[in-house]
Chain A
Amino acid sequence: MYYESISKAMLENCMKVVVRKTKQSRNLSIGMFVNHGSKDETIHNNGISHFIEHMAFSHENMNVAAKQMVGDLLDNGARYEAYTGKEMTRCCITSQTSYSNDIIKALSNIVKFRDIPEERIKHERAIILQEADTYFASSKVKTELSERTLWGERSLGLFVIGNQENISRFTKEDIESRFEKYYTPSNTLMVIQGNVDPDEIINKIATEFDFWRNNKVSNPLPMLEVSPSVTGIGNSDRVNLTISFVGPSFRSRKKYAMAILSDILGDGLKSRLFLELREKRELVYSIYSYSLSYGLGGYLAIDLNCQKEKLDECFNVVMEIVKDIQGKGVTSEELERARASRITSTLQIPNDSVRHLNTTGRYALYNKDFFVDNEVFELMSITEEEVREVANEMCDESNMALSAVGTNSESLISLL
């Protein structure tokens, strides 16, 4: 019989530990999730969490002991990854299970972050500036641009990478003092996934991280400003338009209905947007929709790429399709197809250990447990009426933001 189990512990220093025992695994993944990201920044220090990730969690910049330990693990086939998001910073090591002690020791040394050499900061700054240039010139910027347009220059609206001016300005003092203040055990969650004994590994973590103490400082309270607007950048014959609607946060059960609505609208070859704008009207090559939910808020986005002179027509057709769902709802066939697709995707998560670990960590940061069957149950319980309701609640002009790459804001304003 298939079942999942999660063991949880709170250490004396308030660090949380979550162990997911996966009997079939021959590898072990351990992720350290710090509840600190760009949501905790302001426009004046935007980008510092990402800078800290480069300084604290990049192999080349670690202290001597941590660098040696992580280096040895890499020599023995381990995979190491560090990442900064809007809501958290994480580093994750995946290796063969026999290296569990070495992984825990390496992670406990990584957080001994102090007195970083100035030359390393200078070096890393140059790399981050390169990363920023690459990022802002790539299509990856579309998602964060739409979030900036929904939420302004505050918390979730801030770019993870920050801006070039801030990146050029951060000092050793800025980086070290922020790390000391917020990268603390009470702000950290350790997720272990593999064929391990939960009690045994929690004990090892408690021992290795016992030295780590808290500052009596909480994260700054992130405040969300829901201020949907328009942002158009660049100038090209082709425009990438993103139409976004403010939606439910991660904590709301409505996020499931939003996800289903998104899939019916624009996921795959049988979605309404694909069939109408691409197959019937030949207006676009690429069109899709997606939904995202953070702890503070969420949204549904429709993304399309078209000729500039067809922008107005594309926008109107998209809005007609949305209005049709608001008025007439979705068909049972559409709901079942979207539901089945979501369930397939959810069932795939345990087959990808890193994705599984990251999903478990993300849920745990919101004080929730990720279980595949619970997700499937939630998806199974969504009704046609709930999808229509969420479409009516979300998809109106007072919740809509428009962002585009390839045209300016004025041309987007003219769509409204």
Chain B
Amino acid sequence: MLNSADFGNNQTDFLDTILHAGGMEVLSILSIVSKTATEVSKQTGIPLAKVNYIIKMLEKNDLVFVDSTNSKEDFVENAYKADVNSFSIRLSSKNSDEMEKIKMINYMIDEVQNGMVNAVTDLAPAEFSLVKARIPRSKVKEYILRLRELEAEIDSHQEIEDAPYTFTVALFQN
């Protein structure tokens, strides 16, 4: 039996939302400037219903927030914004959905990797972001191994004449 809580799209995997076509595009636009769903839809050509759905899912997962609310007569419209703080991912032993968060971290590491590869090979402008992740002690080893793989892959793309680059990962015990 359904109840009213089922009507908020809570059951959908939010990672799917931002990873399917258009999701990252919406998030990227909102990370730069505050926009309404209608504006995002017009800019991207993504249907408004899809943009609204993506924004709602991102909002439910604290990845975007209502930046301003404009009202005219009986109508109201929200403008949304995402910023770097929105990408902070919290993992804790209490969290029952760790696999989803781990997938998210892995995805972001891949994104950083793509950005760096683009930067050093001049294939496309690079976009970097700061990723803050609270990682359970038991997972630290796994992530360090992945980061080493990432470092090796970046090195493999380097040409002799490439400018030097810096890749820093810091782990702070907390």
Q: Using a CB–CB distance below 8 Å, which chain A residues touch chain B?
A: 132-133, 136-137, 141, 145, 148, 152, 154, 159, 162-165, 221-234, 296, 397-402, 408-410, 413, 416
Contact = CB atoms under 8 A, between A and B. Distances in A.
B134 interface: no
Contacts, number: 95
Contacts of B7: 136, 145, 148, 159, 231, 233
Nearest to A222: B74
Interface of B: 1-7, 9, 11-12, 16-17, 20, 37-38, 41, 47-50, 52-53, 56, 71, 74-78
Q: Specify which of A133, A162, A224, A227 lies most central, judged by the most chain B CB atoms within 10 Å of its CB.
A: A227
Main secondary structure of the interface of A (DSSP, over half): mixed
Given A226-B75, A409-B9, A133 B47 contact: no
Given A136-B1, A145-B7, A408-B12, A223 B49 contact: no
A231 B2 CA distance: 14
B37 A416 contact: no
A163 B74 contact: no
Given A164-B5, A416-B49, 7 more contacts: A132-B3, A136-B2, A224-B74, A229-B56, A233-B7, A408-B11, A410-B20
Contacts of A232: 9
Contacts of B37: 227
A416 B50 contact: yes
Contacts of A416: 47, 49-50
Contacts of B16: 410
A304 B9 CA distance: 21
A46 to B, nearest CB: 9
Contacts of A230: 49-50, 52-53
Q: Specify which of A159, A165, A221, A409 lies most central, judged by the most chain B CB atoms within 10 Å of its CB.
A: A409
B40 to A, nearest CB: 12
Contacts of B56: 152, 229
B19 to A, nearest CB: 11
Given A222-B74, A398-B48, A410 B12 contact: yes
Contact of A225 (B17, B20, B53, B75): B75
A152 B20 CA distance: 22
B4 A229 contact: no
A402 B52 CA distance: 12
A15 B7 CA distance: 38
A152 B48 CA distance: 13
A397 B37 CA distance: 13
Contact of B76 (A137, A154, A163, A164): A154
Contacts of B9: 231-232, 409
Q: Specify which of B4, B7, B20, B76 lies most central, judged by the most chain A CB atoms within 10 Å of its CB.
A: B4
A167 to B, nearest CB: 9
Contact of B52 (A136, A164, A227, A296): A227
Contacts of B41: 398
B6 A296 contact: no
Nearest to B37: A227
A374 to B, nearest CB: 25
A402 B49 contact: yes
A223 B4 contact: no
Contact of B53 (A148, A164, A409): A409
A292 B126 CA distance: 50
Contacts of B53: 229-230, 409, 413
A182 B172 CA distance: 56
Contacts of A152: 56
Contacts of A398: 38, 41, 47-48
A169 to B, nearest CB: 13
Given A223-B71, A224-B75, A233 B3 contact: no
Contacts of A133: 1, 3
Q: Specify which of B1, B17, B49, B75 lies most central, judged by the most chain A CB atoms within 10 Å of its CB.
A: B49
A238 B52 CA distance: 26
A228 B52 contact: yes
Contacts of A231: 7, 9
25 contacts: A133-B1, A136-B2, A136-B3, A148-B7, A162-B4, A164-B5, A165-B4, A165-B5, A225-B75, A225-B76, A226-B75, A226-B77, A227-B37, A229-B56, A230-B49, A233-B6, A233-B7, A296-B74, A399-B48, A400-B47, A408-B12, A409-B9, A409-B53, A410-B17, A413-B20
Contacts of B20: 410, 413
A408 B47 CA distance: 18
B12 A225 contact: no
A413 B50 contact: yes
A311 to B, nearest CB: 15
Contacts of A223: 71, 74-76
Q: Specify which of B1, B11, B48 lies most central, judged by the most chain A CB atoms within 10 Å of its CB.
A: B48
Contacts of A221: 74
